[in-house]
Chain A
Amino acid sequence: MTAMRFCFLSARTIVLIAAASACAQYPLTAPTPLAAPAGASAHDGYRFENFPATGRNSDSIFVILTFSGGGTRAAAFAYGVLQELARTQIDTGSRARSVLDEVDVISTISGGSFIGAFYTLYGVDSLPAFEQRFLTWNAEGRLKRELLSQNLIRLASPNFSRSDLAVETWDKRLFHGATFKDILSRRQRPYLIVNATDMALGAPFSFTQEQFDPMCDDLAEFPIARSVAASSAFPGLLTPITVENHAGRCAFRAPGWATSDSTDAHINADAFRAARDYFTYADSSERPYIHLMDGGPSDNLGIRPILRGLSSVARDFSLLRLQANGRLRRIIVIVVNARTSDISTINKHRNPPGIIGVLRAAASVPFDSYSYESLTRLEMISAQRRADRLGAECYNKLLARLHPDAPPPSIEALVPIDIVHITFEDVKDSAARAFFLRVPTTLSLPAATVTRVRDVAGELLRENEPFQQVLKALRYVNEPEPIRCLGQ
């Protein structure tokens, strides 16, 4: 009798769970197909061109922030940098403003996406609230509690995952149902680029309308919390976020850059690959669903969108175009890198790591290599730009001497690019440095650790020599820096 009753209860429970989980279905993707044909909407939506420089922000000083991954540690580090930038005044003699007022673009990954999205959505006055609502909040514990509560039934559904639960949690706590339309409606900078990784391509996936165009999806309707969850869906811990591809349901016309760049793989391999990848989104029969995971595996610093902007003239966010049109005088890229080092824990044991350790290493070790390579490329572009500019200035001086009546060609398009890299590696005190380099990647840190990470970010920025040189150079923003040429 007892056995029969148990069987009956189990069967009833299974039926109930199945019924409940069948109801638990998160929409695959929130975007709706664009109502207007692509030709008419090519300038609408969440695009950089719809974020004009207004108020205290000028185009001439173009400040870009990149926030790396690294859980709450990365968010606290970026938070400290934002606070310091708000305190740092730029004095060019015209109007008083802070460096934060001049921030034009924020590109974020994983843990950095929480603070990047929160700041962009709510502004500088909201920053103190972020500390209480996220940094000192046990987000990881909350997520675990949510997982173990009645959500177990919902999670039994194939259409509701751990990351969907994370979306709900981040929405309740931070974003309150906001979508990219809410950022767009501000019509002011910064322009936020949240980055994830396209699992099929292994390539960066940026939450921009340009990325969504070939899929006929309107990013404006996409929840911010969902983009942040995709950006921070660390492999193995959180499930990928899925975007439904509506390609073919609008009159998408391939942009000129993609058509041009896809012509020859041997002249510009990077551009060719980007164009080839872009066209794959326009085929919903081959790729009806796009699965997105943590942005770290494809770019843990958030630098890739900036590299794209520095190597394209026809994409939506193009620094080359802005400088060709004479709108920029100086580009400053502040890379906020919350990288730590736990190499010692691997090497302290004689036996090699087990399967979990190997999987962990496989998921995270490439982050560093790729990040290092991205940063190196950015620094090389900056160095090359300086060489081009100095060479051009000296050439023009020579021309002016040889042909005093002919005006030399303009070098306005050769805008200096300054790289400011903020990293725990630069903490001077060795004990403190060792502490910061061992802060774990988690969504829950002790309040004291959060405070230390936040405060050291400000100190590192104040002590950063390239940053101080940038502030000094801004005094020359309207006049050329003095240079000496060979033989002159």
Chain B
Amino acid sequence: MGFLLIEYPTVRQVFIDDVQCGSTNTPFQVPNGYHRIDLGTNQNYAPSFRRVEVRGEPYQAPKTTSFRPL
């Protein structure tokens, strides 16, 4: 289990492995392993998705990835 932080200029929903889970800019726990991350079907962000590997990152140093608005 590790912590994941998705950075984006505003707060919006996060989708992990095709399911809505958590929101941007707030760390939350996900199971270790590879995950496909995106911000939903409204494709006004880039990249369209990211693939991250989580390996037990603690709350104080979460696995961090970011998206930018288009």
Contacts and interface: CB of A to CB of B under 8 A. Distances in A.
Nearest to A260: B17
A312 interface: yes
B27 A312 contact: no
Contact of A320 (B18, B20, B30): B30
- Could you say which of B5, B17, B27, B58 has the most chain A C-beta atoms within 10 Å of its C-beta? B17
B34 A264 contact: yes
Contact of B21 (A260, A313, A410): A313
B16 to A, nearest CB: 5
A268 B21 contact: no
B17 A413 contact: no
A321 B29 CA distance: 9
A384 B21 CA distance: 21
Given A260-B34, A395-B59, A409 B18 contact: no
A409 B27 contact: yes
A30 interface: no
Interface string A378-397: 00000010001001100100
A271 B29 contact: no
A267 B32 contact: yes
A340 interface: no
Interface in A311-359: 311-314, 318, 320-321, 323-325
Contact of B33 (A264, A391, A395): A264
Given A320-B29, A320-B30, A320-B31, A388 B18 contact: no
Contact of B31 (A263, A264, A268, A395): A268
Interface in B1-37: 1, 5, 16-23, 25-36
A414 interface: yes
A435 interface: no
B60 interface: yes
Contact of B36 (A256, A395, A410): A256
Nearest to B25: A409
Contacts of B30: 313, 320, 324
Interface string A255-291: 1110111011001100110000000000000000000
Given A311-B1, A414-B59, A263 B34 contact: yes
B4 to A, nearest CB: 9
* Size bracket, chain B contacts: 20 to 34
A81 B28 CA distance: 34
A268 B33 contact: yes
B26 A255 contact: no
A113 B53 CA distance: 38
Nearest to A267: B33
Contact of B17 (A259, A267, A323, A395): A259
A201 interface: no
Contacts of B28: 320, 323-324, 413
B51 to A, nearest CB: 9
Interface in A372-424: 384, 388, 391-392, 395, 409-414
Given A256-B18, A321-B19, A409 B26 contact: yes
A268 B17 contact: no
Contacts of A259: 17
Given A260-B36, A267-B33, A323-B28, A314 B59 contact: no
A413 B30 CA distance: 11
Contact of B53 (A267, A271, A384): A267
Contact of A267 (B22, B55, B59): B55
Given A260-B35, A264-B33, A321-B19, A395 B55 contact: no
A233 to B, nearest CB: 32
Contacts of B31: 261, 268, 271, 311-313, 320
Contacts of B1: 311, 384
A318 B31 CA distance: 11
Contacts of A325: 20-23
B59 A324 contact: no
A323 B26 CA distance: 12
A230 B70 CA distance: 54
Contacts of A410: 26-27
Nearest to B27: A409
Contacts of B29: 320, 323-324, 388, 413-414
Interface string B51-64: 00101001110000
A412 B55 CA distance: 21
List of 3 A-B pairs having minimum Cβ-Cβ separation, nearest first:
A256-B17, A256-B18, A324-B22
20 contacts: A255-B17, A255-B18, A256-B16, A256-B18, A256-B36, A257-B17, A260-B33, A264-B34, A267-B32, A268-B32, A311-B1, A313-B30, A318-B19, A320-B30, A321-B20, A388-B29, A388-B58, A392-B60, A412-B26, A414-B29
Given A311-B1, A313-B30, 11 more contacts: A256-B16, A256-B17, A260-B35, A267-B32, A271-B33, A321-B21, A388-B59, A395-B59, A409-B59, A411-B59, A413-B29
